[in-house]
Amino acid sequence: MGDGTWSRFFAAVDEELAGAVDLRRRLHRAPAVSGAEGPTLDAVIEALGVADWQPIAETGALVRIGPATGPAIGIRAELDALPIVERTGSPYASENGAMHACGHDIHISAAVAIGRAALRVPLPVALLLILQPREEAYPSGARDICESELFHTHELGQVFGAHVHPRIPAGGIAIGAGAVNAAADEFNIEIDGHGGHAAYPHHARDPIVALGAVIGALQTLVSRRLDPMHPAVLTFGTVTAGSAANVIPDRAYASGSLRTMDTDDRVRLHDEVGAMVSAIAHAHGCTGTVRITKGEPILFNDPDLSHAVQTAFDRAGVVTVDPMRSCGADDFSFYSEQFPGVMMFVGVGDGPDTPALHSATFMPPDSAIADIARAYALAIQAVVQLESEG
């Protein structure tokens, strides 16, 4: 594929950006939450202008562009929004009680620009647009797609994702090889005791006291059981017990999140949370049970692919910043667990006061669409050149 074809492809991407901005604003005005992405998918398919696409994972789709057989390069775009009431004051703000507060409208629009450009300037390799539902909720849309036989008929060779991030200055992009996001699991704890009158605790077995001891003790699993050089987080998000101030209840409940950047640490924490809850509950005359729901695996950027993309960015003068590594999670990790993949974090920050992801005031600029679309175009070029060089 000569330099002239690449020049035409890059030019076509730029020519599609105005339409992508319009799509972004329409999607932002009418978001759909996880599991209800049908209207969003319809708008995206219409914007792409394709008749041939495959439904997958209930409200998602696969759109293959280019050669019908052979290897394909995947580009993931998340369709869902969050159940957040928007407070941005934007002229195209949502009014339906949901909000694209994680930038998915940006990601979708950039992927559409790439898809439309590839329809205009044929590439020597197929593109597979992965229009994915349920990134923000369980069961994960990415997991369901990766478990689909249909998905694997497309012979995916590499897969790319991009995510806007307010902690990176606008215009900058972070790649970084290796683990960039944590595995994310949820735990639910139930402590069963024996209720009674608040004035006579010696006649009861107080599950609240036992749960309090559990909450404090579990913090030591990260600080005292794991290598301090291995990032991990154990956070409680809910604690529930009782119905009256003068009554000791029969049960107490808590739930939270486990985040790990090492596979062995993940397994160990699962085992030790259960053992510690059981032992502490027993010491208080209660019983304790734990249910752990496995979520996303560790998001791992392939080293060779990361290097190839970074080299392409350097040649093109793209501003890159230090790798963005955090205990956040993204179900793009299901793809990168099976295929060489790279998640790129694209800056939309405008100083320390930039609203955070999932904030009711988060509103990344339209310019991020161009940053992501051009990054995808360079990544595609890098893959084609890498394979042509053997």
**354: domain range?**
3-180+298-388
Q: Total structural domains in the chain?
A: 2
Q: What CATH number corresponds to the domain at position 271? A: 3.30.70.360
Q: What is the pLDDT of residue 27?
A: 98
pTM to 2 decimal places: 0.93
Residue 302 and residue 355 in one domain: yes
Q: What is the pLDDT of residue 2?
A: 66
Residue 238 and residue 336 in one domain: no
Q: What is the pLDDT of residue 3?
A: 74
Residue 253 and residue 211 in one domain: yes
pLDDT by residue for the chain (390 residues), tens only, comes to 667 889 999 999 999 999 999 999 999 999 999 999 999 999 999 999 999 999 999 999 999 999 999 999 999 999 999 999 999 999 999 999 999 999 999 999 999 999 999 999 999 999 999 999 999 998 999 999 999 999 999 999 999 999 999 999 999 999 999 999 999 999 999 999 999 999 999 999 999 999 999 999 999 999 999 999 999 999 999 999 999 999 999 999 999 999 999 999 999 999 999 999 999 999 999 999 999 999 999 999 999 999 999 999 999 999 999 999 999 999 999 999 999 999 999 999 999 999 999 999 999 999 999 999 999 999 999 999 888 876
Residue 83 and residue 36 in one domain: yes
Beta strands in the chain (DSSP E): 54-56, 60-65, 72-78, 126-132, 156-169, 173-174, 178-181, 183-192, 196-197, 232-241, 247-248, 251-260, 287-294, 299-301, 341-349
Residue 314 and residue 271 in one domain: no
Last residue of a domain, one of 236, 263, 294: 294
Q: What CATH number corresponds to the domain at position 118? A: 3.40.630.10
Residue 150 and residue 258 in one domain: no
Handedness of CA 68, 71, 73, 79 (dihedral sign): positive
Alpha-carbon distances of 348 from 345, 370, 371, rounded to whole Å: 10, 12, 10
Q: Where are the alpha helices (DSSP H) in 49-191?
A: 104-120, 141-146, 149-152
Residue 81 and residue 132 in one domain: yes
Distance, CA of 102 to CA of 84 (rounded, Å): 11
